[in-house]
Structure 1
Amino acid sequence: MKSKPISLVLATFVALASRAQDTDLLKGVADTTPKKEYVYGAFKSTRVIMSHSIEMLRPGVLDFRILHRFGNVNQGISEFFGLDQATTRLGLDYGISNNLTVGIGRGTLKKEVDGFVKWRIIQQSTGPKSMPFSLVAVGGSTVVGAPWSDPARKNLFSSRLGYYGQAVIGRKFSERLTLQLSPILLHRNFVELAADPNDLFAAGFGGRLKLSKRVSLNVDYYYVVNQNDARTELHNPLSIGFDIETGGHVFQLHFTNAIGMNERAFLTETTNRWGKGEIQFGFNISRAFQIAKKKT
């Protein structure tokens, strides 16, 4: 009878020792619980060519962007196939947070200043509660700085302003392929003709095909839905280019029929036609600087 308490103590001790041993063994086993992972690298840059991509700048990163576009290549040798002419845009974009980027730029075409705010609402992810796509909202404005074409007319500063709102919906299907749709609504306070709409709607399409570790093929296109039909000189902008990553730079070579380099300009002033060889060669350079301390 006296052995029962001793047996009970021994059994309890063995059970506790076994449990502790199992815990020690589990420490060496990897945690196989699925984790949510966000998808990055859909595009090399925050722009496809003309338009915003679903990519965002990291917090504290300042992106200095140089956009350079020559004249039409079909002008022949007298204009050195367009290389004698050029328009440029200089821009600064800054990542405030993982999901918020702001930017400002100034272009030589119509001496226009533009700015934007870009907010990522949804980010594509894998694992628990995954999302199959990314959703980004962009709001921006433009200010034309060129002298008025008719100084005798009563001209208001508000007539220089334009605004746009855009949704960018995209998905990185694989390491090689990314596609996105980007509907946009553009408002202009001033239009050239009475029949021109102040509110212009366009449907954008962008894509990236990775060709190698550092090179990708990009396509950027907009279909303007409600353009004034009488303006037969206006066409939908199409750009095709190659992204080349070289260290901290992203160097982009492209061909386009778009003359302007911001949303107001390329949606309302694209007078060139690909079918007539009215194509401009250009390049974009993006250089990112980490100017704020990275958050750990």
Structure 2
Amino acid sequence: MKALYLFSIFLWISSVAFAQDDLLDVLEQETEDEPAFVYATFKGSRLINGHTIETRGTNELEFLISHRFGPVSGGGYELFGLDQANIRLGLSYGINDRLTVGLGRSSFEKTYDGYLKYRLLRQSNSGKKTPLSITLFGSATYITLRDQIYETASNRMTYTTQALIARKFSPAFSLQLMPTYIHFNLTTTTQLDQDLFALGIGGRLKLTRRVSINAEYYPRLNATSTLYYDAFAVGFDIETGGHVFQFHLTNSRPMIEKGFIAETTEDFFAGDMRLGFNISRSFNLGKKHRKKQQWD
């Protein structure tokens, strides 16, 4: 309930910003026969922990470093979590403007992950108007942790499927829904649901040209466990040219979907939050072409 209350405040502030934007001034400059796609719904491929609808451009390579410290509740003895570290290194590549492939490796359970993102629909406000952007996401993970409980390679696998549905309501405000299904081939405890459904919600509120505040929440719809908690995070995006730096607070130690959605063991609102950051750098390995756009 506290998470929903914080989101209601976030959305109320965003609606004020939205009301100040005169969309007609933008639409008057567009042709009627060619769609003008809305770009930069989000500035990066990650909202905080989870993916956004954004895919890489053709021949664009992104290198992403994700880092989560320990719980700040550890106090001065643990330097408020800075003595502990969890990291994920990832690469993603744009096959074309719609299809992105990615690979990564996390220190959490020494896990490798691979994923595909396909942009099914793009928001457009003129020509053939489309009110939403939809990106399909699918990933597979493989745990390499040395543990005899995993008797076969198949038991180490987990699969995630998501539909990322977003709308950029104004230059300042974007909102995204993330219906999610996660399947574990093997669960190591009865407290972990083998098949889990969640409905994530997240948003971005632009404060300046290069700074925004982001928030995301992943309520689990069919969870039966009292050991795990819903993932919640809030933070800032800072864009500096080809870099996007994200600084945030979250209750999630893992940085891949099966981990932060299904295996978060800490309660954000009980003070079990962690400092974290993402740093991304994009490289264009070929010519970049973009169509007419709005609200870049």
Matches for 1:73-222 after TM superposition, within 5 Å = 73-148=72-147, 151=148, 155-194=151-190, 196-222=192-218
SS at match of 1:258: coil
| Equivalent in 262, 265, 269 of residue 271 of structure 1 | 265
Equivalent residue, structure 2, for 1:28: none
2:191 and 2:56 mapped to 1: Cα distance?
Answer: 40
2:65 aligns with: 66
Supply the distance in 2 between the matched residues of 1:158 and 1:255 (Cα, whole angstroms): 34
Give, in angstroms, the shift of residue 192 of structure 1: 2.2
CA RMSD of aligned residues (A): 1.6
Deviation at 1:194, TM superposition (A): 4.3
The corresponding residue for 1:294 is 288
2:69 aligns to what SS in structure 1?
strand
How far is the alpha carbon of 1:154 from its aligned partner? 7.0
- Whole-Å Cα distance in 2 between the matches of residues 169 and 293 of structure 1? 28
> Would the alpha carbon gap of residues 96 and 76 (structure 1) be closer, same or farther in structure 2, given more than 3 Å must change?
same
Is 1:241 the counterpart of 2:235? The answer is: yes
Give me the TM-score of the superposition, normalised by structure 2. Answer: 0.85
Local SS of the residue matching 2:219: strand
Partner of 2:20: none
Letter in 1 for 2:260: F
Q: Please state how far the C-alpha of 1:269 moved relative to its aligned partner.
A: 1.5
Q: Secondary structure at the match of 1:78?
A: helix
Residue 281 of structure 1: which of 270, 275, 279 is its match? 275
Partner SS, residue 79 of structure 1: helix
**CA distances 1:124-144 after superposition (whole Å, capped 9, x unpaired):** 002122101111101110001
Alpha-carbon distance between aligned partners in 2 of 1:178 and 1:91, rounded to the nearest angstrom: 25
| Contact 2:36/2:125 (8 A) holds in 1 | yes
Aligned equivalents of 1:255 and 1:295: distance in 2?
Answer: 36
CA 1:144–1:182: 2 relative to 1, 3 Å: same
Encode CA deviations 1:229-272: one digit per residue, 9 max, x unaligned: xx322100001010000111000000000111001111221011
- Aligned equivalents of 2:117, 2:155: Cα separation in 1: 25
Taking the aligned partners of 2:30 and 2:160, their CA distance within structure 1 comes to 46
Classify 1:83/1:60 alpha carbon distance in 2 versus 1 (closer, same or farther; 3 Å). Answer: same
Gaps of at least 5 residues in structure 2 are 1-28, 291-296
Amino acid aligned to 1:206: G
- 1:265 counterpart SS class: helix
Count of aligned pairs between the two proteins: 261
Which 4+ runs in 1 deviate beyond 6 A?
none
TM-aligned CA deviation for residue 193 of structure 1: 3.2
Q: More displaced, 85-94 or 34-43?
A: 34-43
Secondary structure (helix, strand or coil) at the match of 2:77 reads: helix
How far apart, CA to CA, are the structure 2 residues paired with 1:125 and 1:45?
Answer: 19
For 2:38 and 2:277, locate their aligned partners in 1 and report how far apart those are by CA, in whole Å. 28
2:253 to 259, 263, 286: 259
Classify the secondary structure of the residue corresponding to 2:154: helix
**Distance verdict in 2 for CA 1:194–1:207, change over 3 Å:** same
Aligned pairs for 1:45-64 within 5 A: 45-64=44-63
- Read off the aligned partner of 1:63 and give its amino acid letter: E
| Contact preservation (8 Å) 2:250, 2:273 | yes
How far, CA to CA, are the matches of 2:122 and 2:289 in structure 1? 20
Q: For residue 65 of structure 1, what is the amino acid of its counterpart?
A: L
Larger deviation: 190-199 or 286-295? 190-199
Q: Displacement, 1:33?
A: 4.7
Q: Looking at CA atoms only, which structure, 1 or 2, has the larger radius of gyration?
A: 1
Which of the pair has the greater relative contact order for Cα pairs under 8 Å at 6+ separation?
A: 2
Secondary structure of 1:97's aligned partner = coil
- The CA deviation at 1:197 is 2.9
Q: TM-score, normalised by structure 1?
A: 0.85
In 2, the alpha carbon distance for the partners of 1:61 and 1:32 equals: 28
